[in-house]
Amino acid sequence: MITLHQYHLSPFNEKIQRMLNHKGIPFEERYWTLGERKKVRALNPTGKLPALQNGERVVCDSTDVAHYIEQNFPQKPLIPSDPRLRAQVHVLEDWADESLYFYEMHLRFTTPGNRERNIPRMVEHEGAFLRWLLAKVVPGGIVRITGSQGIGRKSIEQLLVDVERHITAVDGLLDGADWLVGNQLSLADLAVYAMFQALRDADMVADMLARYPAVTAWMMRVEEHTGTRAARRD
Ligand SMILES: N[C@@H](CCC(=O)N[C@@H](CS)C(=O)NCC(=O)O)C(=O)O
C-alpha cells in the first residue's frame, strides 16, 4: 500500500492526492505535526513533505513524486511524452511550486484576517503547548521565509496586482482550451490548481477568482476529473 506523508494545509498534498485519485491508485495518508519535524527528517533529510512511500521506497519532493507515480503507474497519463508538451507541463508545474506557492503562503498565513483564520487550522493537531507557541511564531517565521524569497517585502496591494496577473495568465491559457497544456488534463493543471485552491483561502483572492469565470470553471473541471480529496481536507 502506498502511504502519502504530509503536513497539514500544504498545497503540495493536493497535487499528489489528485494525481493518485485520477489514476485510481489506492493510498493511505499519514499527517505529521510540526512538533514531529525531527522524525520527518528520517524520512526526508530536508525535513519537507509530502513524501510518498511505496514499501521500502520513499520518494520526496512533489515533482519527483509525480514523476515516480507516472513511471510506475502509467495508466491515465498526466505527463505527456511529446517533448514540447512535456516541457510546457514542467514549466507550469515549476511556476506553481516555486512562485505561486510563496504568494499563497504569505497571503494565507501572514495577512490580517486570513492569518487569524488559517494559523489555528495549521496548528490544530499539535499538542497544547506547541499550539500556543506556534500560533505566535509561525506568522513571523513565514514572513522571514517570504521576505528572503522577496515577495514578503512587497505591500499587500502589490501582491494582489501580482496575483491578478497570474490569474489573468491562466485565464489566457484557457482561452479556447479546457486544459492548461494540450487538450487533456496534465500535471500542470494539478499543480496550478493546488496553488489557486490554497490562494482561495485568502479572502481577497477568493473575491478576485470569482471574477474569472473561465478559471473557476476550469477549477471545477479539475475537481470533476480527479475526484474528491482523499479522506480529509487536513
Ligand atoms: N518543493 C517541495 C516543497 C515542499 C514544501 O515546501 N513543503 C512544506 C509544506 S507546504 C514543508 O514541508 N515545510 C516544512 C519545512 O520547510 O521544514 C515539494 O514540491 O514537495
Determine the angle formed by the axes of helices 83-95 and 187-199, rounding to 10 degrees: 20
Q: Which pLDDT does position 80 carry in this prediction?
A: 98
Residue 63, all three cell numbers: 515533482
Q: Which pLDDT does position 234 carry in this prediction?
A: 55
Per-residue pLDDT of the chain (234 residues; tens, 9 = 90+): 999 999 999 999 999 999 999 999 999 999 999 999 999 999 999 999 999 999 999 999 999 999 999 999 999 999 999 999 999 999 999 999 999 999 999 999 999 999 999 999 999 999 999 999 999 999 999 999 999 999 999 999 999 999 999 999 999 999 999 999 999 999 999 999 999 999 999 999 999 999 999 999 999 999 999 986 654 455
- Cα(49) to centroid(ligand 1), Å: 5
Decide: 97 in ligand 1 pocket, CB within 6 A.
yes
Decide: 93 in ligand 1 pocket, CB within 6 A.
no
- Domain covering 2-72, topology: Glutaredoxin (3.40.30)
CATH class belonging to 83-226: mainly alpha
Q: Which pLDDT does position 18 carry in this prediction?
A: 97
Phi-psi region of 50 (alpha: psi -120 to 50; beta: other; left: phi over 0): beta
> Residue 32 carries which side chain, given as an amino acid letter?
W
Question: In whole angstroms, what is the distance from residue 128 CA to residue 131 CA?
Answer: 5
Question: In whole angstroms, what is the distance from residue 155 CA to residue 191 CA?
Answer: 26
Decide: 99 in ligand 1 pocket, CB within 6 A.
no
Decide: 32 in ligand 1 pocket, CB within 6 A.
no
CA distances from 115 to 68, 120, 158, 202, 210 (A): 35, 8, 18, 9, 21
Phi then psi dihedrals of residue 29, to 5 deg: -110, 140
Where in the chain are the domains? 2-72, 83-226
Q: For a ligand 1 pocket test, name from 14, 32, 48 the mutation site with the most ligand atoms within 8 angstroms of its C-beta.
A: 48
